[in-house]
Structure 1
Amino acid sequence: MKKYLYHYVRNFDYPLFFTYIFLCLFGLVMIYSASMMVAMVYEDQDPDYFYKRQLLNLVVASVAFFVGAFIPYKHYSNKKLMVVMLSIMLILMFWVWNFGTGAEETGSQSWIDLGFMNFQPSEFAKLFIILYFAGAFYRKSLKNSIENLGPNNIIYPILVWLFIIFCVANETDLGAVMIISGIAIAVVAASGIQFKKFLKFFGVLAGFGSALIGFVLLIKGDEILTENRIGRIKAFLNPFEYEDGSSYQIINGYIAIGSGGLDGVGLGQSIQKLGYLPEPQTDFIMAIIAEELGILGVIIVLGGLGFIVFRALSVALKTKDPLARMIAAGIGSWIAVQSFINLGGLSGLIPLTGVTLPFISYGGTSILLLSFAMGVLINVSMYVKLEKKRS
């Protein structure tokens, strides 16, 4: 144990750690600034209501981070642990399917009310897909080289992925479906599988996934293709035609970004958060950052997120261990894809999906599981440093 701690402290990825801490604290400040009006007017609470809740979320998340950081990542290929993770995933999906909340407020039945917090199983699904896919492919590689894996060897991970996609699509959380699909593809691409087989695998995922989503649309089309979601597509195609309706949030986001200019109007001085921009502390928090802190604030956030993604992919490219490579690539792709979907919706590149910005937006489940994932990534990074020293 002493030897492990000695190597751990010496090889700890401090740049990655401090970037993660900085983004969390920066997000906490911006949540306080963005949510004051929402807390007082809509929640009938003190101005620092969301700030205190997110601070508590960060305290819990810090525990999750250190748990992820100190458990050797090799354990995630343990068959018993994989069965436990799968069992937890199945229980969560069954629970949210039958007793989930949120459909009336957001249009997605995606949350489980635990009393002290709302837990979102689709967030756990993102982490689960990374660890389960990485563990499953790694275990298969112990019997056959990953390059020679065929469809029969990976049928179970595909079935698990399809089941999760079906459950999340059934919640009508389309943003999470996109992220989970991107993560699965990234983990498989990092496994070392032959390119031709990867294309076949990608084709299988695309084919079965499209058929499954089509089936969900067939049986729940009225719940998924709601007036709100159709409005988001119309707003994406021509936002200024629907500025008093479905484009209201997008247009006010544009106004916030434009008002900020180069140096911003000043921390806490946003106009759009005063009832013009709905839920500014969640998926539109970057608009408030741009308005109050200008381009500098945007660059700070993008730089921090970009550094984490770059570090994760760098770790994946440096290691010779396929399990470490898949885990690092999966975590990096999670943050990259989710950031793109959030910022793409905000800027009008893609339709809005309601996805939060990693580490910055308000949300307990998101910061909890992202923090655990960052701990795992730092553990992998530590191993890669040791691996490099020994080679």
Structure 2
Amino acid sequence: MLKKMLKSYDYSLIIVMVLLSLFGLVMVYSASMVWAVQRYGLPSDFFYQRQKMFLIGAFIVFLCAALFPYKMMKSNKILGFIVVMSLFGLMSLFVFGHIAGNAQSWFKIGGLSLQPSEFTKIAVIIYLSAVYAKKQSYINEFNKGVVPPLVYIVLVCILVVIQPDFGTALIIFLIAAAIILSSGMNWKNISKLIMIGILVASPVVLVMKDDLFTKEQRERFEAVKNPFKDEQNTGFQLTNSLLAIGSGGINGLGLGKSIQKLGYLPESHTDFIMAVIAEELGVWGVSFVILSLGYIVLRGIYIALKCRDPFGSLLAIGISSMIGIQSFINLGGISGLIPLTGVPLPFISYGGSSLLQLSIAMGILVNVSMFVNYEEKYKKNNEKKIVA
């Protein structure tokens, strides 16, 4: 049985994830070597060495998640633990959190930083997928089947927004929306949710319109309209990102030869790493990243469609939507399509919390795929033998 299960794993997903992560490791070194010395007075390979350590830890976490049967996660004890720990982590930030980039979003543990909101994304996916899978028999009863799980989502989004971290809150909201739309709920109830959301949000926005966004966030909205209008201040990040992207052309300037990373492009190894990839490796480098991320997203949707278990199907939808949404927000921000939000590019940007959370998510997705393939390959064969 173990041999059959190992044969059923989706190794294409694993290979793409590993290639993306290793590619990201190389690009973190290229994008951060000047920044580490100039900004922090650290060795040029400081961020590379840290990312390598994160990558080793992430692979171990991925293996654990890939081997852990996903169906066990919908037990009430595990769900209760996930909900309590995610809320506790977010609320503890306001007492013990470390402020960086005008947001109190991190715990500082020794020389490491941990961002609870990253792990809350996967907590939301597991919780919503499990609850709506259990409610399939009465999914269209609004008060009993639709509303109760949303209390947790609203509370999570509020706690993330007041850090303030609108980028992560938006991702969590959109992940929840993707799972709800895929849960089997009828359009009458979905329309009710939309109307309630508008009725609740509108007065809040009107009353708090001056306090809802920080000065820096309002400037980001203005910068999208015309970043070159004030390129030394509000448009500084986006202007240099666009210059990096435009300089790369088809083939790029060559690995390690970016000009914008020489102090012109802030956070070149985190939020703006794709701009460095575009400048150094051109269209080829950008295409590799986008096609690889696209493959993971589409493969996740394919797994969801094949899975006959509602819980597994919703997990796959949640994970693939998370990676797709986060990729779009990052790429849209650095290209001026949408305002900058400080969202990392999955598997590529520097950061331990993001990499660990994505590894857990990919481990779960691979586990769901394994059960789908196992049932398809071996259970059907056994049924045919019994019939014969």
1:281 matched to 2:276: no
**Structure 1 residues 152-182: Cα deviation after superposition (integer angstroms, max 9, x where no partner):** 2233211000100110001110001110011
| Residue type of the alignment partner of 2:166 | L
Q: Aligned in 2, Cα 1:202/1:384: closer, same or farther, shift over 3 Å?
A: farther
Contact 1:284 1:346 in 2 (8 A): yes
Shift of 1:7: 2.8
Write the distance in 1 (CA, Å) between the matches of 2:203 and 2:374. 43
Letter in structure 2 aligned against 1:140: K
Say if 1:256 and 1:290, in contact at 8 Å, map to a contact too.
yes
Does the residue aligned with 2:135 lie in a helix, a strand or coil?
A: helix
2:93 match: 96
Please list the CA deviations of residues 230-276 of structure 1 after superposition, one character each: whole Å capped at 9, or x if unmatched: 21111011211111111111111111111100000000000000000
Once the two structures are aligned, what percentage of the paired residues are identical? 43
Question: Per the alignment, in what secondary structure is the counterpart of residue 104 of structure 2?
Answer: coil
Query: What's 1:9 paired with?
Result: 6
The structural deviation recorded for 1:113 is: 1.2
Distance 1:378 1:39 in 2: 35
Q: How far off is 1:212 after superposition?
A: 9.2
Please say if 1:344 is aligned against 2:371.
no
Which residue is equivalent to 1:238?
A: 226
Please say if residues 5 and 374 of structure 2, whose CA atoms lie closer than 8 Å, have aligned partners that are also in contact: no
Which string of whole-angstrom CA distances, capped at 9 and with x for unpartnered residues, describes residues 331-380 of structure 1?
00000110110000111110111111000000010000100100000000
Contact 2:275 2:334 in 1 (8 A): yes
1:382 equivalent in alignment to 2:382 = no
> Does 2:132 match 1:137?
yes
Partner Cα separation in structure 1 for residue 69 and residue 291 of structure 2? 29
- After superposing on structure 2, the runs of 4+ consecutive aligned residues of structure 1 that deviate more than 6 Å are none
Letter in 2 for 1:128: A
Match for residue 297 of structure 1?
Answer: 285
Aligned to 2:53: 56
**Residue 114 of structure 2, aligned match among 115, 119, 125:** 119
Q: 1:134 to 1:94 in 2, by over 3 A?
A: same
Contact 1:185 1:202 in 2 (8 A): no
Deviation, 1:202, is 4.0
Which region of structure 1 is more displaced relative to structure 2, 367-376 or 149-158? 149-158
Please state if 1:69 is matched with 2:61.
Answer: no
Task: Assess, with a 3 A threshold, how the Cα gap between structure 1 residues 221 and 63 changes in structure 2: closer, same or farther.
Answer: farther
Give the conservation status (yes or no) of the 8 Å contact 1:316–1:325: yes
Deviation at 1:117, TM superposition (A): 1.6
1:260 aligns with 2:248: yes
Report the Cα offset of residue 384 of structure 1. 1.3
Deviation at 1:213, TM superposition (A): 6.3
Match of 1:321 among 296, 309, 314: 309
Relative to the length of structure 1, the TM-score reads 0.93
Instruction: Name the structure 2 match of 1:310.
Output: 298
- For 2:386, the equivalent position in structure 1 comes to none
Q: CA deviation at 1:145?
A: 4.6
- Contact kept, 8 Å, 2:138 with 2:145, in 1: the verdict is no
**2:311 counterpart letter in structure 1:** L
Report the Cα distance in structure 2 between the residues aligned to 1:346 and 1:175, rounded to whole angstroms: 14
Relative distance call for 1:327 and 1:52 in structure 2 (3 A) is: same
- How many residue pairs align between the two structures? 379
SS state at 1:172 partner: coil
TM-score with structure 2 setting the length: 0.94
Report what 1:84 is aligned to: 81
Partners of 1:77 and 1:138 within 8 A in 2: no
1:160-214 Cα offsets, whole Å, 9 max, x none, are 0010011000111000111001100111122122232233334445554x36964
- What's 1:363 paired with? 351
Partner amino acid, structure 2, of 1:61: A
Task: Classify 1:10/1:203 alpha carbon distance in 2 versus 1 (closer, same or farther; 3 Å).
Answer: farther
Distance 1:116 1:25, change over 3 A: same
Q: CA RMSD in A?
A: 1.7
Q: Secondary structure at the match of 1:180?
A: helix
The one-letter code matched in structure 2 to 1:11 is S
Which residue in the other structure is 2:163 paired with?
171
Partner residue, 1:110: 105
Change (3 A) 1:298 1:339: same
| Deviation digits for residues 8-64 of structure 1 (CA, Å, limit 9, x no counterpart) | 211010000000000000000000000001111111111100000000111111111
Q: Which residue of 2 aligns with 1:227?
A: 215
